[in-house]
Amino acid sequence: MGFFAQLEKRIRDIGSLVCVGIDPRPDDLPESSIDGLRRYCFELIDAVGRSVAAFKPNSAFFEAFGPDGMAVLRDVVGHVADEIPVILDAKRGDIASTADAYAHAAFGEFGADAITVNPYLGRDSIEPFCGNPDHGIFLLCKTSNPGAADFQDLPTGPENAPLFEHVARQAQSWNKQDNVGLVVGATQVEALRRVRDIAPTLWFLSPGVGAQGANLDEALSAGLRRDGSGMLINVSRSVARAADPAAEVARLNDEIHRVRAAITPTHREPAAETFTPLQRRVADALLDIDCVRFGTFTLKSGLESPIYVDLRRLIGHPRVLHDAAATYRPMLEQLPFDHLAALPYAAMPIATAIGLQMHASLVYPRKESKSYGTAANVEGVYAAGDRAVVIDDVATTGSSKVEGIEKLATVGLNVRDIVVLIDRQSGARESLANAGYTMHAVFTLTDLLDHWDRTGRVASDHIAAARKFIDATSPTT
C-alpha cells in the first residue's frame, strides 16, 4: 500500500485529519533525561493514538539529546501503531549520495513512512526520497513562519508568480508515484487557496493551528480539496500541553468535521444502471482494449490524473469502433445538421464510422492550412450557411473544440452543437456553454465509473481515486 493510500485508509477508518506533532521541548519533559524524553513521547502517543490520522516527530528535538536522543526517536517511531503513518519532520535537502543517505536513515533506520523535504536543490535532491511509492514526501512550499516571505514570495518566471507557486507546480510534475505532498502553513490562508488551485489533488501538511494562531475554519475552507480531504492539520503544543490531550484532539476533530460537512458534497452510491445494452458493451470494451487505464498520468493541462482516456486505440479494434460510433446516433438524430465536423485527429475515424452508419456528410478543419492547391482550411463538400455538428472523442476543458469551431466559421459553417463520447467533467460543458455552444456526451466519466463499480470491472481503490479527482477538478462540485 502506497503512503497516501495508507494515510487515506487511516482517515477513512477513524474520520480524523489531525496530525499530532511530537516536539519534546525540554521544559515539557517530566524529567530532563533520556528516560524522561522517552516517557513523554510514549505517553503522548498512547493518549491520542486512537483518534489521530498521523504523527509527526520533529527530528531536531531528538538530535538535541545527542546519539541517545536519536535512539529514542527510533523507539518513538516504533511505538506508533503500524496502521498510523509517521511523518519525520526533518526538512532534509541535499544531492546525490548525501540525499540517498538521508533517505536511508529516515525510512530504513528510523522506520518513518514519510519525511519533510526542502526542494531548494531541485529534482535530483528529492528523487531518493520518493523513488519508493511506499514512502511519502512533503515538500516545503509555503511555510507558517513569519519569515517565509523572504524567499518564498519572490517573483519567478515570465508571469512573476511567487516562488512557492512554482514549487507547487513542480510538485505536480514530480508526483509520478502518488507520494508527493506539500507543506503549506495553516497561517497562510491566501497561499493555501492559491496552492490548492494549482494542485487540486495533492495532500497538504499544514502546521500553524494552535500555538501559532491559525484560524482553523479559514485554513480548512482554503486548503481542503473539494472532496473534503487532502489536508493534514498538524498540531503540536496545543495538544501536548493540554490538560487532557485526548479531549483536545476530540475537540479538533469535531471542529474539522463541522467545516468539512459544510463544504463537502454528500457522498452518493453508484446510480442505478441506465445504460442501454449497446452502451454497456462499449463501456466494458473501453477497458478491454485499454482505451481507459488507471494509474498516474500527466494530462495536457499538467495535472496528475489517476485515470487516462485514449480513444485513438479504437482504430485498432473495428468492432468496438463500430459500436462506439453507434452510441452517438441517438443524440445526433435529435439535432439539426447538414454535416458531421470531425476534429482532428482522434475523432476522425469515429466520425467516419458515424457517417457511414448514418449516411451523413463529413467535413473537418485542418490542423495546418494547406500551402498548395486550394489552400483549404476545411476539407469536405459544403456551402456557406450549412449547419455542422462537431464530433470529438473526449471533452476536458473545451479549448480545442473552440479552436476547431473557429476554423469552421471562417468558411461559413454554422455550429451550435458538439457531441463527444466521454465528458471528463473538467469544465468543457461549462466553458462551451459560455461561448454559446451546447455539448452532448454519450458518457460522463462518473457514469462510466458507476457502471464499472457496479459490475466489479475496476478495483475499488481506482474508482475512489478517479472520483476524488473528478470532485477536485470539476467546476460544478
Contact 390, 398 (CB under 8 A): no
Question: Is residue 208 predicted with pLDDT exceeding 90?
Answer: no
- CA–CA dist 209, 187 (Å, integer): 7
- CA–CA dist 155, 370 (Å, integer): 42
- CA–CA dist 41, 24 (Å, integer): 7
Question: Is residue 475 predicted with pLDDT exceeding 90?
Answer: no
Q: What percent of the chain has pLDDT over 90?
A: 71
Q: In degrees rounded to 5, what are phi and psi of residue 462?
A: -70, -40
pLDDT value of residue 369: 66
Residue of 459 and 425 predicted with greater confidence = 425
Q: Which of 28-42, 148-162, 233-247, 365-379 has the weakest average pLDDT?
A: 365-379
Q: Name the active-site residue from 9, 56, 91, 468.
A: 91
Query: In the CATH hierarchy, which fold is given to the domain comprising 277-473?
Result: Rossmann fold (3.40.50)
pLDDT value of residue 24: 96
Please write the tens of the pLDDT for every residue from 259-289: 888 776 544 556 667 899 899 999 999 999 9
Domain boundaries, the chain: 3-262, 277-473
Question: Is residue 477 predicted with pLDDT exceeding 50?
Answer: no
Report the length, in residues, of the chain. Answer: 477
CA angle 255, 259, 260 (to 5 degrees): 115
pTM over 0.95: no
Cell numbers representing residue 22 in the block: 511530537
Question: Is residue 301 predicted with pLDDT exceeding 80?
Answer: no
End-to-end, the C-alpha distance of the chain in Å comes to: 29
Concerning whether 468 is annotated as a catalytic residue, the answer is: no
Question: Is residue 372 predicted with pLDDT exceeding 70?
Answer: no
pLDDT value of residue 267: 46
pLDDT value of residue 298: 81
Contact 388, 341 (CB under 8 A): yes
Question: Is residue 241 predicted with pLDDT exceeding 80?
Answer: yes
CA angle 313, 398, 227 (to 5 degrees): 90
Q: In degrees rounded to 5, what are phi and psi of residue 136?
A: -105, 160
Residue of 445 and 227 predicted with greater confidence = 445
DSSP state of 107: I
pLDDT value of residue 266: 47
pLDDT value of residue 72: 97
Please write the tens of the pLDDT for every residue from 157-175: 877 889 999 999 999 889 8
pLDDT value of residue 371: 57
Neighbouring C-beta atoms of residue 175, cutoff 10 Å: 23
Alpha helices for 83-224 (secondary structure H): 96-103, 123-130, 149-152, 163-174, 189-198, 216-223
If you classify domain 3-262 with CATH, what class do you get?
Answer: alpha beta
**Beta strands at 161-162 and 438-444: parallel, antiparallel or unpaired:** unpaired
For the chain, what is the mean pLDDT? Answer: 91
Question: Is residue 336 predicted with pLDDT exceeding 50?
Answer: yes
